[in-house]
Structure 1
């Protein structure tokens, strides 16, 4: 069975000129396992005059996971990474002690109509790794474990589950699984997932304990485990979670840490522009939000 503790609805949030659906953090549920932040981007139609332009901004204390359903994003960062991500691929950027990155529509698409749709996720690092060196890994679609059970198709986006392991180099016990089906089917995850669990319905619906749930809802498991549910026809869901981190995590803008002093230092370093620059984008800069306040 799947006993639901909480239902979190997407909340519209504006990031620059782009609207997203925020899932985490939530007032009554700040994290699920080490997952500290989840935004659902789109689906948004962009005209030939509109482009995604998230300019240079910093992170500490976390890894970011970008997973697209449609569209394309050009990633650049301060350690020299420059790579386009396409649907079904994973960008895994670990900020550690500090990194700066930008996310933009690729140059060859900027004069064309396009669609952007995907997930942006932050995973908090264990305390002993919060100050690690920053890194970036891109994992191609064909390098993610994919399999079928009954009528459902599974993709292991990150972590370990079902005796499989994703190529994404995570730093604590966690999992993120895509499950799709064109037909109504029962999905059983019993004894496969440890720690806290959440189930995000992207498309279609889920039936659990006789109740129906629809798209853009995040279901949080009461027993920290999702055992069994019915996936409606033409549905896509994402099951994620893992072992909770021992210490509380604080979030200030793009900074995540178990130590508020590290956040204060990062904030001051960013305001004083002491972070490393992105090659070729040295003059681009998103100010710390409080500088806009009157």
Structure 2
């Protein structure tokens, strides 16, 4: 095969690369941020792409290894107008929130916390994991709530890995976290048309991506995949062209997430941990957190103060 015929390895520079063709509208390279002890790659939001369906925020956490006695310590902080979605590949996180929820999340589980009109929560490495040296790898995403649900009552839902449907065939394994795809439906309740799947391909395996979902993107976690002659490496968010269908081929063993859903019902504003269709509502949330009007998180005595410039 001549050099001209060889598939190209697409290596983009932050934050957006030109379309690679073959159904790819944008290639987004996440920004790396240090959260004090471990790094995250932030793929959404970026300039030129605020949302994919209802997904308005996507962080890849780790992979990270902590010395014995250390771990993640995200103090209580507030949210409005969104649902946080935590999905781990490795490690564990203890979740506490102002509803009184105490829940440890493990790989393959999903924590879906809908903030609605307001909730506070913390995320920490548990004491047993600190004793043996903690690890952490996974995704945290935010899903914007539709306008009619932005001020709804907050709630928390946890689904264990055994609750989530799996489709497995010919070197392909799909765990459906939210929505409907590949003939199965997730039990996770969402307020908007949403799809979220954790997909693993053995080397040489192929998976068709249909156009049933209005907006779609693939976040590449591990391995190299090929789409219409272009190769893509890990740590890339591939935003797909609406209505295009194509096949993902695994050059190596690969893992990626499919996210998306219907186009959101209007634009959203983000300030720190707050999301809203109304800037006035953001100002109220700032004032409420600063004045201590959010309900406290039981068992926690500390909190993250309101940032001076939006965080």
TM-score (norm 2): 0.90
Identify the match of residue 103 of structure 1 among 123, 144, 159.
123
Q: What runs of 5+ residues in structure 1 fail to find an aligned partner? A: none
Q: How many Å separate the matches in 1 of 2:85 and 2:278? A: 22
Question: Would you identify which runs of 4 or more consecutive aligned residues in structure 1 move more than 4 Å?
Answer: none
The answer to whether the 8 Å contact 1:196/1:225 transfers is: no
1:222-253 Cα shifts (integer Å, max 9, x gaps):
23545322122310011110101121000000
Please show how residues 7-156 of structure 1 align to structure 2 within 5 Å.
7-156=27-176
Q: How many Å separate the matches in 1 of 2:196 and 2:143? A: 11
Identify the match of residue 223 of structure 1 among 239, 242, 263.
242
Q: How many Å separate the matches in 1 of 2:35 and 2:140? A: 12
Identify the match of residue 262 of structure 2 among 233, 239, 243.
243
Root-mean-square deviation over aligned CA pairs: 1.7
Give the match's secondary structure for 1:110: helix
Stretch deviating more after TM superposition (74-83 or 240-249): 240-249
Identify the match of residue 160 of structure 1 among 180, 199, 204.
180
Give the match's secondary structure for 2:131: coil
* Number of residues of Structure 1 aligned to a counterpart in Structure 2: 291
Q: How many Å separate the matches in 2 of 1:220 and 1:10? A: 13
Q: How many Å separate the matches in 1 of 2:70 and 2:111? A: 23
1:237-285 Cα shifts (integer Å, max 9, x gaps):
111101011210000000001011111100110011110001111x211
TM-score (norm 1): 0.95
Give the match's secondary structure for 1:123: strand
Q: What runs of 5+ residues in structure 2 fail to find an aligned partner? A: 1-20
Question: Match for residue 213 of structure 2?
Answer: 194
User: How far did residue 16 of structure 1 move?
Assistant: 4.4
The answer to whether the 8 Å contact 1:160/1:173 transfers is: no
Q: How many Å separate the matches in 1 of 2:149 and 2:282? A: 15
